Amino acid sequence: MLSVVTGGSGSGKSAFAEERLCSIAQGEKVYLAVMRAADEESRARVRRHRFLRQGKGFRLVEKPLDLKELSFSGTESVLLEDLPMLLANEMFRADGKAPKEPEEVLEELLHLERSVRDLVVVTGNLFEDGALYDEMTSRYLEVLGGWNRQLCRMAQERTEVVYGIPIPF
Protein backbone atom coordinates (compact mmCIF):
# COMPACT_ATOMS: atom_id res chain seq x y z
CA MET A 1 0.00 0.00 0.00
CA LEU A 2 1.18 3.50 -0.82
CA SER A 3 0.26 6.30 1.55
CA VAL A 4 1.18 9.97 1.03
CA VAL A 5 1.27 12.35 4.00
CA THR A 6 1.63 16.07 3.36
CA GLY A 7 1.44 19.30 5.29
CA GLY A 8 3.29 22.47 6.08
CA SER A 9 6.40 22.82 8.20
CA GLY A 10 5.67 21.90 11.81
CA SER A 11 2.21 20.58 10.95
CA GLY A 12 2.67 17.21 12.64
CA LYS A 13 2.92 15.28 9.38
CA SER A 14 5.97 13.26 10.49
CA ALA A 15 4.36 12.17 13.75
CA PHE A 16 1.17 11.21 11.91
CA ALA A 17 3.14 9.25 9.28
CA GLU A 18 5.00 7.32 11.99
CA GLU A 19 1.74 6.48 13.78
CA ARG A 20 0.11 5.45 10.53
CA LEU A 21 2.96 3.17 9.53
CA CYS A 22 3.01 1.58 12.98
CA SER A 23 -0.72 0.91 12.73
CA ILE A 24 -0.51 -0.89 9.36
CA ALA A 25 2.86 -2.66 9.55
CA GLN A 26 2.73 -6.43 9.69
CA GLY A 27 6.43 -7.04 9.17
CA GLU A 28 9.57 -5.08 9.81
CA LYS A 29 9.18 -1.30 10.17
CA VAL A 30 11.89 0.67 8.38
CA TYR A 31 12.49 4.39 8.80
CA LEU A 32 14.20 5.56 5.60
CA ALA A 33 15.85 8.85 6.49
CA VAL A 34 17.13 10.92 3.58
CA MET A 35 18.30 14.06 5.41
CA ARG A 36 22.00 14.83 5.35
CA ALA A 37 22.92 16.36 8.69
CA ALA A 38 25.28 19.04 7.40
CA ASP A 39 24.99 21.68 10.12
CA GLU A 40 23.94 22.01 13.76
CA GLU A 41 20.33 22.84 12.88
CA SER A 42 19.94 19.71 10.78
CA ARG A 43 21.74 17.58 13.38
CA ALA A 44 19.28 18.89 16.00
CA ARG A 45 16.36 17.89 13.75
CA VAL A 46 17.82 14.40 13.37
CA ARG A 47 18.24 14.07 17.16
CA ARG A 48 14.66 15.24 17.70
CA HIS A 49 13.27 12.74 15.16
CA ARG A 50 15.31 9.90 16.70
CA PHE A 51 13.99 10.80 20.16
CA LEU A 52 10.39 10.87 18.91
CA ARG A 53 10.79 7.43 17.26
CA GLN A 54 12.16 5.72 20.38
CA GLY A 55 10.26 2.61 21.33
CA LYS A 56 8.38 2.36 18.01
CA GLY A 57 10.46 -0.54 16.70
CA PHE A 58 11.88 1.07 13.57
CA ARG A 59 15.05 -0.10 11.87
CA LEU A 60 16.79 3.06 10.72
CA VAL A 61 18.19 3.24 7.19
CA GLU A 62 19.96 6.49 6.32
CA LYS A 63 20.11 6.86 2.54
CA PRO A 64 20.14 10.47 1.31
CA LEU A 65 20.93 9.51 -2.30
CA ASP A 66 20.64 6.63 -4.74
CA LEU A 67 17.56 4.74 -3.52
CA LYS A 68 18.20 2.17 -6.25
CA GLU A 69 20.97 0.73 -4.08
CA LEU A 70 18.47 -0.37 -1.41
CA SER A 71 17.26 -3.95 -1.26
CA PHE A 72 14.10 -5.15 0.47
CA SER A 73 12.38 -8.54 0.71
CA GLY A 74 8.85 -7.27 -0.04
CA THR A 75 7.50 -7.72 3.48
CA GLU A 76 8.72 -4.45 5.04
CA SER A 77 6.71 -1.36 5.84
CA VAL A 78 8.83 1.70 5.03
CA LEU A 79 8.44 5.32 6.07
CA LEU A 80 10.32 7.66 3.71
CA GLU A 81 11.11 10.96 5.45
CA ASP A 82 10.94 13.12 3.31
CA LEU A 83 10.34 13.59 -0.40
CA PRO A 84 11.35 17.28 -0.71
CA MET A 85 14.69 16.47 0.93
CA LEU A 86 15.28 13.46 -1.34
CA LEU A 87 14.67 15.58 -4.43
CA ALA A 88 16.95 18.36 -3.14
CA ASN A 89 19.70 15.84 -2.37
CA GLU A 90 19.57 14.46 -5.90
CA MET A 91 19.14 17.75 -7.78
CA PHE A 92 21.76 19.65 -5.75
CA ARG A 93 24.27 16.88 -5.04
CA ALA A 94 27.02 17.64 -2.56
CA ASP A 95 29.16 14.62 -3.49
CA GLY A 96 30.53 16.12 -6.71
CA LYS A 97 28.55 13.78 -8.98
CA ALA A 98 26.29 15.15 -11.68
CA PRO A 99 22.69 15.62 -10.59
CA LYS A 100 20.27 12.93 -11.65
CA GLU A 101 17.36 13.70 -13.88
CA PRO A 102 14.18 13.94 -11.80
CA GLU A 103 12.59 11.13 -13.84
CA GLU A 104 15.42 8.77 -12.81
CA VAL A 105 14.95 9.62 -9.13
CA LEU A 106 11.19 9.15 -9.40
CA GLU A 107 11.73 5.74 -11.00
CA GLU A 108 13.97 4.79 -8.05
CA LEU A 109 11.17 5.85 -5.70
CA LEU A 110 8.59 3.86 -7.65
CA HIS A 111 10.91 0.83 -7.60
CA LEU A 112 11.09 1.19 -3.81
CA GLU A 113 7.28 1.29 -3.65
CA ARG A 114 7.06 -1.93 -5.66
CA SER A 115 9.64 -3.73 -3.51
CA VAL A 116 8.03 -3.25 -0.08
CA ARG A 117 4.68 -4.16 1.46
CA ASP A 118 3.79 -0.63 2.56
CA LEU A 119 5.36 2.72 1.76
CA VAL A 120 4.40 5.87 3.63
CA VAL A 121 5.91 8.93 1.95
CA VAL A 122 6.15 12.21 3.83
CA THR A 123 6.11 15.21 1.53
CA GLY A 124 5.55 18.89 2.11
CA ASN A 125 3.58 21.86 1.01
CA LEU A 126 6.22 24.30 -0.22
CA PHE A 127 4.08 26.11 -2.74
CA GLU A 128 2.00 28.74 -0.96
CA ASP A 129 4.30 31.69 -0.36
CA GLY A 130 3.96 33.25 -3.83
CA ALA A 131 7.65 34.19 -3.91
CA LEU A 132 9.67 34.42 -7.10
CA TYR A 133 12.66 32.10 -7.24
CA ASP A 134 15.72 31.58 -9.41
CA GLU A 135 15.49 29.09 -12.27
CA MET A 136 16.91 26.09 -10.36
CA THR A 137 14.64 26.59 -7.34
CA SER A 138 11.64 27.08 -9.61
CA ARG A 139 12.53 23.84 -11.40
CA TYR A 140 12.85 22.04 -8.06
CA LEU A 141 9.38 23.22 -6.97
CA GLU A 142 7.91 22.27 -10.36
CA VAL A 143 9.33 18.75 -10.14
CA LEU A 144 8.25 18.30 -6.51
CA GLY A 145 4.72 19.45 -7.36
CA GLY A 146 4.58 16.96 -10.23
CA TRP A 147 5.82 14.15 -8.02
CA ASN A 148 3.27 15.01 -5.33
CA ARG A 149 0.46 14.90 -7.89
CA GLN A 150 1.65 11.62 -9.39
CA LEU A 151 2.12 9.90 -6.03
CA CYS A 152 -1.26 11.11 -4.79
CA ARG A 153 -2.93 9.69 -7.90
CA MET A 154 -1.24 6.33 -7.24
CA ALA A 155 -1.73 6.26 -3.47
CA GLN A 156 -4.37 4.22 -1.69
CA GLU A 157 -4.29 6.79 1.13
CA ARG A 158 -3.67 10.54 1.03
CA THR A 159 -3.64 12.70 4.15
CA GLU A 160 -2.90 16.35 4.74
CA VAL A 161 -1.96 17.23 8.31
CA VAL A 162 -3.03 20.73 9.38
CA TYR A 163 -2.15 21.91 12.90
CA GLY A 164 -1.78 18.29 13.98
CA ILE A 165 -5.16 17.27 12.55
CA PRO A 166 -5.04 14.57 9.81
CA ILE A 167 -7.45 15.29 6.95
CA PRO A 168 -7.86 12.44 4.44
CA PHE A 169 -8.39 13.50 0.83
| pTM beyond 0.85, yes or no | yes
Domain count, the chain: 1
Instruction: Over range 26-49, report the average pLDDT.
Output: 91
CATH of the domain at 125: 3.40.50.300
Region 135-164: what's the mean pLDDT? 96
CA–CA separation, 73 and 55 (whole Å): 24
3-state secondary structure 68-89: HHCCCCCCCEEEEECHHHHHHH
3-state SS class at 158: strand
Q: Are strands 165-168 and 157-162 parallel, antiparallel or unpaired?
A: antiparallel
pLDDT in tens, 35-46: 988 889 988 988
Which of 1-10, 40-49, 63-72, 126-135 has the least mean pLDDT?
A: 126-135
Sequence length of the chain is 169
User: 68 phi and psi, to 5 degrees?
Assistant: -65, -20
Instruction: Provide the mean pLDDT of the chain.
Output: 93
- The reported pLDDT for the residue numbered 107 is 96
- Average pLDDT on 144-155 reads 96
- Could you give the CA distance from residue 120 to residue 122 in angstroms, rounded to a whole number? 7
Give the residue from 11, 17, 20 showing the smallest Cα distance to 33: 17
pLDDT at 61 over 80: yes
Kindly tell me if the per-residue pLDDT of 50 is higher than 90: no
| 8: pLDDT strictly greater than 90 | yes
Q: How far is CA 46 from CA 23, 33, 69, 79, 140, in A?
A: 23, 9, 22, 15, 23
Range of the domain at 12: 2-168
pLDDT digits (tens, 9 = 90+) for 78-126: 999 999 999 999 999 888 899 999 999 999 999 999 999 999 999 998 8
